[in-house]
Homo-oligomer: A and B are copies of this chain.
Amino acid sequence: MPDDRSAADGGRIGQVAVIFAAWRTRADAAGYAAAAAAMDALAAQQPGYRGVDAARGDDGFGITVSYWADEASAVAWRAHPDHAAVREAGRGRWYDGYDLHVTQVTRSYAWRRAQGEAEA
């Protein structure tokens, strides 16, 4: 469990959380992994980037939540040319479908075994 999450999550109120829920195809696992790693690295360099959480199960369904300082930075990342190119590739090869929800964080809680719960 990364230690830096705890500090970051106290401050998520007002952030934009982009929920990306996607069904992977079985195709091109290596190409997908490489593109996903490249996108993670590129996203982290964007202005307003505030972190990411991601989980994918064996059934191919995964959820990625990226956090942004505000709507403008989330929209700018959506419009980034490299991101758009990968999105096209994703539609062609890697995904059977996805949902994307842009949200605004109104409340945040974090709990760690060592620390107890703190409401932000």
Contact = CB atoms under 8 A, between A and B. Distances in A.
Interface of A: 1, 5-6, 9, 12, 17, 19, 21, 23, 53-58, 61-63, 65, 71, 91, 95-113
A80 B29 CA distance: 41
Contacts of A65: 19, 21, 63, 65
Contacts of A104: 103-104, 106
A103 B98 CA distance: 19
Contact of A113 (B53, B54, B96, B101): B96
A101 B1 contact: no
A61 B65 CA distance: 13
A99 B110 contact: yes
Nearest to A75: B107
Contact of A17 (B62, B98, B103): B103
29 contacts: A1-B96, A1-B97, A5-B97, A9-B99, A9-B101, A12-B101, A17-B17, A17-B101, A17-B103, A19-B19, A19-B53, A21-B55, A55-B56, A55-B57, A55-B63, A58-B58, A63-B63, A63-B65, A65-B65, A95-B111, A95-B113, A96-B113, A97-B112, A98-B110, A100-B109, A101-B105, A101-B107, A102-B107, A103-B103
